[in-house]
Each structure stands twice: as C-alpha cells, then as structure tokens.
C-alpha cells in the first residue's frame, strides 16, 4: 500500500534528523536520507524544496518537541536549569543540531526560532520582576549555556569532573539560584559572590576604574612603541646611546635604551 503524503514527510524528518545530527548540513547526503526514509529523493524536494529547507523543518520539529517537554522559566531558575540539563542529556540530538545550525552560518534563525526564545525571555523577565530586555536576554543565554555546555563538550566535563559527577546537576541549580537575581531560591545566598552580577546593568566604580586603567595601559603600550621607534631613528641618524639615555631619563634606564636600540622592546619604566 502506498505511503500517505504525511507518512512520507514524517519518514523524511526522522531520517533527516539522524543524518543532520551526525553529519551537519554540509555533510548530510540527500540520497542517504531518502534511502533511510524508503522514498525517492524527489519526494524530499517536493515536501521541503531543498536540503536547507529540510534542515529548517527538522529544527522546527525539534523546538516544538522541546517546548512541549521543558516548561518556561516561570518559578525558579534552578529548576529551569535542571530541566534543561536533563533534557539535553536525554535528547543529545537537539544540542548537536543546534551546534550544526550555528556552524552553518546562514544568517539569523527563522521566525519560529525567534518566537521560541521570545517566550522564554518574557517568562524569565516575569520571574525576575523586570521588563524583557538585553539584561534578561543575557541571563537566559547564560542559563542555557550553563545547562548545555557539559553535554556539548563531554570530554572536557569528564576531564575536569571524572566519568560520573553526580553533584554537577545540583551544583548547576545552586549556581543559577545564587547568581540570577529575583529567583525565589536565591534568597539567603552569599551576596558577595564575585559572579553575583549576572543581571546587573550598571557598572560599579571598580568596573569604571578598571576600564580607565586598561585604556591607560593600552595608551602606554602605544607610546612606548613610538618612543622606541624614535630612539632607533635618531640613533641611526648619529645620536649616541648615552645622549639618548639622558634625554629619556626617568622614563627608560640606560640598559633599557641599549636593549631597545639593539632590537628588543621593553617597558617604559624600570
């Protein structure tokens, strides 16, 4: 009995998910997908238009399944991170497909992708008691990364934690509760943690002073390079090393001047 159009589409999606998860978009082969689905590859083009169109359909299906399984971050960011962690552990294909999608480098995700993350950002904003915006988006991205990265690079997780670190799951939840403001589970945690400010929007005096120092050091590096070039130019024109050392007294010692003239670069101050 001939397979229905809906059955053909479903078979192609199942076969394509396995193929894309294993090989990515560039490495996937339409012939293999069609053979695995038990249909002619012309049926693939009829339903999805192209290999890229098929990949987009697979991603849409994967996100729909994810939305049906993992609740929005509505009560506690710790529980949300645990749910994400468990889902990626039990559904490794989704994370692989997301990574392949990023490597594809084909512009921004489609409308369904945008809607998926918009809903999650708005839910997180309600949990945090603020309006959706860049800070909430950064917090959501961080929570997703915390939950998924151990599965994205399992070799690193094993190297750092061993083959089975049963405490990691709980640690991730505690970390999320402690460092994302507004979470009910975050009450009573150490507010002096150096990573407490995941959702802070205004820089502190320390941040501002550190940025000023970085700018000053960068300017000093540039000035040092210009001074060395000037010393070499005048030395090539006949100025002695002693004369040049006297002219930059207080900035560079004579040994540093000699080193600069010999071809090395060093600091301005002793």
What confidence score (pLDDT) does residue 181 get?
A: 57
| pLDDT(133) > 70 | yes
| pLDDT(206) > 70 | yes
- SS3 of residue 18 by DSSP: helix
What confidence score (pLDDT) does residue 164 get?
A: 61
Same structural domain, 196 and 171? yes
pLDDT interval class at 15 (50, 70, 90): very high
Same structural domain, 16 and 102? no
Question: Do residues 139 and 117 lie in contact, with contact meaning Cβ atoms separated by under 8 Å?
Answer: no
Question: Do residues 70 and 122 lie in contact, with contact meaning Cβ atoms separated by under 8 Å?
Answer: no
What confidence score (pLDDT) does residue 180 get?
A: 77
Position of tokens 């960068």?
Answer: 218
Same structural domain, 198 and 86? yes
Point out the domain boundary residue: 69, 91, 106. 69
Domain count of the fold of the chain: 3
Q: Which of 168, 165, 193 is nearest to 179 (CA)?
A: 193
Q: Which of 69, 46, 51, 49 is nearest to 15 (CA)?
A: 51
Same structural domain, 7 and 97? no
Where are the alpha helices (H) located in the chain, listed in sequence order?
A: 5-27, 30-37, 41-48, 51-69, 77-90, 92-104, 111-128, 134-152, 154-161, 168-179, 205-236, 241-247, 254-261
Its domain, for residue 38, covers 1-69
Same structural domain, 83 and 146? yes
Q: Is residue 269 part of a domain?
A: no
pLDDT of 70-95, one tens digit each? 998 888 899 999 999 999 999 999 99
pLDDT interval class at 14 (50, 70, 90): very high
Helix axes 205-236, 254-261, angle to 10 degrees: 70
What confidence score (pLDDT) does residue 112 get?
A: 76
- Look at 181 and 29; give whichever has higher pLDDT: 29
pTM confidence score: 0.63
What whole-number distance in Å separates Cα of residue 203 and Cα of residue 210? Answer: 11
Same structural domain, 79 and 56? no
What whole-number distance in Å separates Cα of residue 13 and Cα of residue 15? Answer: 6
Same structural domain, 198 and 220? no
Q: Is residue 252 part of a domain?
A: yes
Same structural domain, 51 and 173? no
């Amino acid at each position: 009995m001939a397979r229905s159009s809906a059955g053909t589409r479903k078979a192609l999606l199942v076969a394509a998910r396995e193929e894309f998860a294993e090989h990515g978009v560039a490495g996937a082969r339409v012939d293999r997908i069609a053979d695995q689905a038990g249909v002619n590859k012309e049926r693939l083009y009829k339903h999805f238009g192209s290999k890229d169109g098929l990949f987009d359909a697979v991603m849409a299906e994967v996100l729909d399944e994810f939305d049906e399984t993992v609740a929005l971050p509505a009560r506690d960011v710790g529980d949300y991170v645990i749910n994400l962690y468990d889902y990626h552990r039990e559904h490794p294909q989704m994370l692989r497909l997301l990574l392949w999608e990023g490597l594809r480098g084909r512009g921004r995700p489609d409308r369904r992708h945008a809607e998926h993350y918009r809903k999650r950002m708005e839910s997180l904003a309600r949990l945090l008691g603020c309006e959706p915006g860049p800070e909430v988006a950064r917090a959501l991205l961080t929570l997703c990364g915390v939950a998924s990265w151990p599965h994205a690079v399992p070799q690193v997780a094993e190297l750092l934690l061993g083959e089975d670190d049963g405490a990691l799951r709980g640690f991730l939840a505690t970390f999320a509760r402690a460092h994302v403001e507004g979470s009910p589970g975050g009450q009573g945690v150490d507010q002096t943690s150096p990573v407490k400010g995941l959702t802070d929007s205004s820089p502190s005096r320390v941040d501002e002073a550190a940025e000023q120092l970085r700018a000053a050091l960068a300017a000093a590096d540039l000035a040092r390079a210009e001074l060395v070039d000037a010393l070499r130019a005048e030395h090539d024109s006949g100025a002695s090393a002693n004369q040049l050392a006297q002219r930059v007294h207080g900035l560079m010692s004579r040994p540093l001047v000699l080193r600069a003239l010999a071809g090395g670069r060093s600091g301005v101050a002793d």
